[in-house]
Amino acid sequence: MENYFKLDFNNTSYLVNSLLPKAQEQAYYEDYFDLAKITSQSKVETRGGRGQTILFAKDNLNLILRSYKRGGLFGKLVKDKFFKFESHPHRAFDEFRLLLKLKALNLPVPTPIIARQETNLISVKQQIVIERLVGFNDLSYVLSNRNLSEEEYLQIGKCIKKFFEAGVLHTDLNIRNILINDKLEVYVIDFDKCFLLEKLSDNKKQSMLDRLKRSFNKELLKKLDCQSEFNEEYFNKLCNEALKSN
């Protein structure tokens, strides 16, 4: 039995986690995307980046609303529409379904709550609402305050290994997409344009780790007043843990 359901209202469709009730009125689902209501009824935070992210609370849930936006020069002209003839036009629905599959594999990822796409003849505009992991910070935030410990590097490596073994291709594994808390629990987020493969090749695993290493160096170079530093020795231990055979 699927743990989500799909609803269609005119040109708007929703994928809804079965945690939410199956309501008859579209207005119930629209409340998860209505910025005016969200900002008037709860304390919200706004995070930057290409796809603007809103942190809010609703129905006793801590949530994140993310809009899918384009990058590059074309993104300046067409910010939030994806054409149906593109290779992956339904990114919100793809990410929603992938997150549910990863949850079923007991991988440390946030729970998808609801996704929405608005369509016309040629384009799709889309958003997703996922669980906010309270008490966790991304590695970029942690590094802006202190160095990561050797044990934290090791736990990150062990977490990445779980995804490698499951065949998860994360196309943007960077320090902003890895979260950690004070209990050394590690989660991975942002699975836009990511895939679950039958088997992950050694080249793809190494490519993901190389991308993660570049993000460490790039992020720390941007923080001119940062007291933290990238520890090459500890990162190599992270890689060894991630690539370790059973």
DSSP secondary structure string for all residues of 3-45: SEEEEEETTEEEEEETTS---S-HHHHHTTT-HHHHHHHS--E
**Known catalytic membership, residue 59:** no
Which among 31, 34, 80, 172 is annotated as catalytic? Answer: 172
Cα 121 to Cα 11: distance, rounded to the nearest angstrom = 10
Token match 């690539």: residue? 243
Q: What does each C-alpha distance from 182 to 17, 113, 129, 137, 148 come to in angstroms? A: 29, 25, 25, 9, 12
Amino acid at residue number 201 = S
Q: Which two tokens stand for residue 34?
A: 């209505």
Cα 201 to Cα 212: distance, rounded to the nearest angstrom = 17
Q: What does each C-alpha distance from 65 to 54, 55, 187, 232 come to in angstroms? A: 5, 6, 18, 35
Q: Where are the alpha helices (DSSP H) in the chain?
A: 26-30, 35-41, 72-77, 91-104, 139-143, 150-166, 202-222, 232-243
| CB burial string 22-32: b at 16+ within 10 A, e below | eeeeeeebeeb
Catalytically active residues, by annotation: 172
